[in-house]
Amino acid sequence: MDTASGTKIAAGVSAALSGTSAITLIINGRPVNLDVAPWTTLLDALREYVGLTGTKKGCDHGQCGACTVLVDGRRINSCLTLAIMKDGATLTTIEGLAENGALHPLQQAFIDHDAFQCGYCTPGQICSAVGMLSEGRARTPDDIRELMSGNICRCGAYVNIVAAIQQVMKAAEGSVTP
Amino acid sequence: MNSFSYTRASNVASAVRAVTADRDAVFIAGGTNLIDLMKENVARPPHLVDITRLPLNRIEELPNGGLRLGALVTNADTAYNAAVERRYPILSRAILAGASPQLRNMATNGGNLLQRTRCYYFYDTATPCNKRDPGAGCSAINGFNRIHAILGTSDQCIAVHPSDMCVALAALEAVVHVTGTNGDRTIPLAEFHRLPGDTPHIDTNLRTDEIITSIDLPPKGFADHYAYLKLRDRTSYAFALVSVAAALEMHGDTITETRLALGGVAHKPWRNLDAEGMLNGIRATKDHFEAVGETIIRSAHGFGHNTFKIELARRAVVRALQQAARVGRKS
């Protein structure tokens, strides 16, 4: 349902949208058409409209990282993102990391190292770690701790989270995993 | 979040026209601060103009040897830009000291300048705040003010500007380029943010019909002697209690130029040119740095919970200057 009110249409500015408008997101490799209001966050669109509830709502203010997803390959807080602003973007959520039934190496590493207790922060932790590894800035455990600081774990599984990420980094370097 | 209408601008001129035609319209780019404030009911814009698709997303060399940072380049792309890392490492360090990687991937350079204070009372709509509601009163002055300002305060507002990036930009003497209804103009970073005075609801000297297009860095990057020292309650992902950007030009042990900017202590990145001038032609010793620290805090005033910041700022200045004097020294 496109309800462009079109109160002030000037050259170079789209019509003012106040109702819902149609957007397309490429989510985990599949194009998804959605009708969203301007104030619908990407997090709410994923959970409530697309039914992908793996991405979690923690603080809803960009402080905890539970809502972390990859947009065009980069990790962001989906709670502070308006879905309408990401029309046409490519998203990867926790549901899109496994390939052909095989867990993503980070998913497997989190299991291997028991890198969670309640698991609520885990989808955000893993998506954030995927983003961090592709940024290529982490070298040491201290780097991992600093560059994963946007993801809070209230169970305190940090030690095992760092170990899980290190396992994947070492495997990528071709050395023996612990 | 309250409902609002939304448009997307495709060029700078149309973006300016959109906020000129509707005085209540607000630009949105990274959204990391604005959407949070909208969820808290502190910001209630009836109309958002999406500027994320404007062509302001490049970092370019300037003919004078400086570097132009597009207003829409993300904080992460700026901090990790090879030219910024090599020629302006103090800026890279300051950006990476702030927020989280996810937020830095979203937040833009222009938005970083325009972020609002993190004063608890500004965020809490149940309490009076002159910045949010002019004339209502300040809850922080006699309230819980541990994170608040010690320099440049007024009897109306003791909020601090929360940015790390802006502290480094102040030390580098960056220049903000803006465009508005009356055309282009430039604003030196030192004049971009305001002190609260009796109009604490106005954070900056950017006019309501203007948009930031770039932040230009002068050629001098102080890559040999610099430090960004950030002191906070935890060592990552927290706002500064006190931060110091220190940049030196040195000839041997002698300082030939000093830039110092403090964060977490005032409504804007704090500079004291008299204090900076004290070090010119002077040997880089702790005694001389102590004198600079004393000068900077001479006009500081605490409000109870934040009084510790006065001594913390003095010591932070000394330590940052010591670090800056050491960095790059061939021993």
Cα(B165)–Cα(B75) distance, integer angstroms: 9
Is residue B2 within 8 A of residue B40, CB to CB? The reply is no
Indicate whether A9 belongs to any domain.
no
Question: Is the CB of B31 less than 8 angstroms away from the CB of A80?
Answer: yes
Q: Please, what is the angle between helix A122-135 and helix A105-112, to 10°? A: 120
CA distance A174 to chain B (A): 26
- Most A CBs within 10 Å, among B3, B6, B118, to test the A interface: B6
> Out of B14, B50, B76, whose CB is closest to A10?
B14
Last residue of a domain, one of A96, A130, A152: A96
Same domain for A91 and A109, yes or no, is no
Last residue of a domain, one of A59, A74, A96: A96
pLDDT of the residue at B329? 54
Q: In which element (H, E) is residue A159 found? A: helix A158-173
A82 shares a domain with A109: no
* Sign of the dihedral defined by the CA atoms of residues B256, B262, B267, B272, in that order: negative
- The CATH number of the domain holding residue A40 is 3.10.20.30
Map chain B to HEC letters.
CCCCEEEEECCHHHHHHHHHHCCCEEEECCCCCHHHHHHCCCCCCCEEEECCCCCCCCEEECCCCCEEEECCCEHHHHHCCHHHHHHCHHHHHHHHCCCCHHHHHHCEHHHHHHCCCCCHHHHCCCCCCCCCCCCCCCCCCCCCCCCCCCCCCCCCCCCCCCCCHHHHHHHHCCEEEEEECCEEEEEEHHHHECCCCCCCCCCECCCCCCEEEEEEECCCCCCCCEEEEEECCCCCCCCCCEEEEEEEEEECCEEEEEEEEEECCCCCCECCHHHHHCCCCEECCHHHHHHHHHHHHCCCCCCCCCCHHHHHHHHHHHHHHHHHHHCCCCC
Query: Cα–Cα distances in Å, from B257 out to A104, B142, B199, B220, B296?
Result: 52, 40, 35, 11, 17
Shared-domain flag, residues A110 and A92: no
Average pLDDT score over residue span B34-47: 98
Same domain, A128 and A73: no
C-alpha–C-alpha distance, residues B270 and A72, integer Å: 38
**In whole angstroms, what separates CA B234 from the centre of its chain?**
20
Instruction: Measure the CA–CA gap between A92 and A32, rounded to whole angstroms.
Output: 13
What is the Cα–Cα distance from B236 to B102, expressed in whole angstroms? 13
The pLDDT of residue A3: 39
Position B46 scores a pLDDT of 96
Question: How many structural domains compose chain A?
Answer: 2
Q: A129 with A165: CB under 8 angstroms?
A: yes
Those residues with Cβ within 8 angstroms of residue B286's Cβ, 6 or more apart along the chain or in another chain: B318, B322
Tens-digit pLDDT profile for residues B151-183: 999 999 999 999 999 999 999 999 999 999 999
- CB B58, CB B70: distance < 8 Å: yes
Chain A interface includes B6 (CB < 8 A): yes
Question: What is the reported pLDDT for A13?
Answer: 83
Size of interface A-B (CB pairs under 8 A): 123
Domains of chain B by start residue, with CATH: 5-53 (3.30.43.10), 226-326 (3.30.390.50)
Of B14, B32, B102, the CB nearest to A12: B14
In angstroms, the separation between the Cα of residue A38 and the nearest Cα of chain B is: 6
Cα dihedral A114, A118, A122, A124, rounded to 10, equals -160
Is residue A78 included in any domain, yes or no?
A: yes
For A2, the enclosing helix (H) or strand (E) is none
Give the mean pLDDT of B206-223: 98
For the domain that residue A151 is a member of, what is the CATH number?
1.10.150.120
Shared domain check, A156 and A134: yes
- For residue B142, the tally of other CB atoms under 10 A from its CB is 10
Confidence band of A10 (pLDDT split at 50, 70, 90): low
Tell me whether residue A67 is in a domain. yes
Contact call for A77 and B32, based on CB within 8 A: yes
- Residue A130 falls within a domain, yes or no? yes
Beta-sheet pairing, B211-217 with B254-263: unpaired
Which residues of A have a CB under 8 Å from any CB of B? 5, 7-8, 10-18, 37-39, 41, 60-62, 65, 68, 74-77, 80-82, 84-85, 128, 131-132, 135, 137, 145-151
Residue in A8, A15, A65 closest to B100 by CB? A65
Question: pLDDT, tens digit, for every residue of A83-98?
Answer: 999 999 999 999 999 9
Position B125 pLDDT exceeds 80: yes
Residues in chain B within 8 Å Cβ distance of A65 = 100, 102
Burial pattern A67-96, b for ≥16 Cβ within 10 A else e, equals bbbbbeebbbbbbbbbbbbbbebebbbbbb
Q: Are A64 and A152 in contact (CB under 8 A)?
A: yes
> Could you tell me the residue range of the domain that residue A144 belongs to?
105-173
A6 in any annotated domain: no
Q: How confident is the model at residue A4 (pLDDT cuts 50, 70, 90)?
A: very low
Q: Per-residue pLDDT tens for B242-287?
A: 999 999 999 999 999 999 999 999 999 999 999 999 999 999 999 9
The token duo for B150 is 């010690």
Model pLDDT for residues A114-160, shown as the tens digit of each residue: 999 999 999 999 999 999 999 999 999 999 999 999 999 999 999 99
Question: Would you place residue B328 in the very low, low, confident or very high pLDDT band (cuts 50, 70, 90)?
Answer: low
Looking at the structure, do residues A80 and A130 belong to the same domain, yes or no? no
Q: By three-state DSSP, how is residue A78 classified?
A: helix
Residue of A nearest to B99 (CA): A150
If one counts every other C-beta atom within 10 angstroms of the C-beta of residue A134, the result is 12
A129 and A87 in a common domain: no
pTM equals 0.95
Round to whole Å and give the CA distance between B227 and B259: 11
pLDDT of residue A6: 40
Same domain, yes or no, for A71 and A114? Answer: no
What ipTM was predicted for this assembly? 0.96
Pick from B54, B48, B25: which is nearest to B35 by CA? B48
- Whether residue A1 is contained in a domain is answered as no
Answer yes or no: do A8 and B18 touch at CB < 8 A: yes
Report yes or no on A10 lying in a domain: no
Residue A55 belongs to a domain: yes
Helix axis angle, B308-326 relative to B286-297, nearest 10°?
140
Asked if B32 is an interface residue toward chain A (Cβ–Cβ < 8 A), one would say yes
Q: Hey, are the CB atoms on B52 and A85 less than 8 Å from each other? A: yes
Structure tokens at A85: 């602003």
Q: A59 burial class (0-12, 13-18, 19+ CB within 10 angstroms)?
A: middle
Is there a single domain that holds both residue A91 and residue A33? yes
Residues in chain B: 331
Q: How far apart are CA A119 and CA A133, in angstroms?
A: 21
Element (H, E) at A128: helix A122-135
For A99, the token pair is: 């390939």
In contact, B109 and B78? CB cutoff 8 Å = yes
Q: Which residues make beta-bridge pairs with B26? A: B48
d(CA A99, nearest CA chain B) in Å: 24
- Give the three-class secondary structure for A64: coil
Digit-coded pLDDT (tens) for A53-93? 999 999 999 999 999 999 999 999 999 999 999 999 999 99
Per-residue CA distances from B58 to B74, B109, B189, B213 (Å): 10, 11, 20, 11
* pLDDT reading at B51 higher than 50: yes
So what's the pLDDT on residue A176? Answer: 45
Residue that terminates a domain, selected from A70, A96, A122? A96
Q: Do A128 and A162 belong to one domain?
A: yes
Chain B residue whose CA is closest to A6: B7
* % of residues, chain B, pLDDT over 90: 98
